[in-house]
Amino acid sequence: MSTPRIAVIGAGSWGTALVKLLSGNAEQVGWWVRRDATIKHITTYGHNPDYISAAQFDVSKLAMSSDIHAVVKNADVLVIAVPSAFLKASMDQLDPSELLGKTMFSAVKGIVPETNQIVGEYLFQHWGVKENDFGVICGPCHAEEVAMERLSYLTIACQKADTAKMMSTALNGRFLKTTLSDDIYGTEYGAILKNVVAVCAGISVGLGYGDNFRAVLVSRAIQEIARFVQAVHPIDRDINEPAYLGDLLVTAYSTFSRNREFGTMVGKGYSVRAAQMEMNMVAEGYYAVKCVHEINSKFKVDMPITESTYRMLYEKMSPLMEMRLLSDRLA
């Protein structure tokens, strides 16, 4: 059996990290990079000037193009790494026929805002992708630590074991290890909800709350995630596995976390808009909390952390007052 040709769609932090990992094992990796100026820079200097520039590439292994049609055509496996807020606009450049016969993996950590769907559901319902041809790449892992070649772990979720093993083999390397799962729904929702919690944790940092409070916040958060994931997709899963609890911990505590940083700025008094402009990066948790809030109007799961974060970000409730109320709920 020939080795599948893999391409990454997106040149943000995770797109950059995944290309670095994949190029370590493959003869060539396709890469859709939106801007020709970025392609020129990477070709000349061997790193992405916009995201985790510490990641150095062997450019002879990269098949970069700003033509998404060409990248998709030349790949058997597509890894989507576009922020969820821009996913639909990126995909709308394609025709569903271009995805026929392709295996799709999502490294997106957010909900498609136009449809309030996780990426898998969006691809199944709007693009005709089959569940057995879809997988999820999730944490616990920060793109920045991949760039630094620090020992990292990823979870590969797919309902077809051979497909999960294929992606595992493509990513495994000297400083990256993978574990396998068949929970394509739970891992996606878990990756989304941990960003919401990280925003809330960051707000607590900005307000001056300490480690003791965040320990309780995160402990309650994994219970909240378990309730929601079980409500939307009830199967037998261990919520303490790295894909769920591990990803929550690294995102809520690490200074590399964009969502935690965004929350910290809000806690310090920045408006949402000012925090977004200052960061110049997408904090998926900001968009996710609104989508989860709307989805939960159907399931009515008890989600005090998510609802509190929603009120602070979208109803402009005082973070100081809201965090006080939340602290009572967490006791």
Specify the amino acid at residue 186: G
| b/e 29-48 (16+ beta carbons within 10 angstroms → b) | bbbbbbeeebbebbeeeebb
Q: Is 142 exposed, middle or buried (0-12, 13-18, 19+ CB in 10 A)?
A: buried
Asked if residue 113 has a cis previous peptide bond (ω within 30° of 0), the answer is: no
Q: Decide if 61 is catalytic.
A: no
**Integer Cα distance of 179 and 309 in angstroms:** 31
Q: Are 285 and 259 in contact (CB under 8 A)?
A: yes
As a whole number of angstroms, the distance between CA 134 and CA 92 comes to: 19
Catalytic residue among 194, 268, 298, 316: 194
- Note the helical H segments in 5-142: 13-23, 36-45, 68-73, 84-91, 119-127
CA distances from 121 to 34, 90, 118, 130, 247 (A): 25, 17, 5, 10, 21
CA distance 185 to 205: 31
Q: Which two tokens stand for residue 209?
A: 């709350």
Asked if 246 and 139 touch (Cβ cutoff 8 Å), the reply is yes
Residues 6+ apart with CB under 8 A from 211: none
Q: Using DSSP, state whether 189 is helix, strand or coil.
A: helix
Residue 186: helix, strand or coil by DSSP?
Answer: helix
Active site amino acids: 194
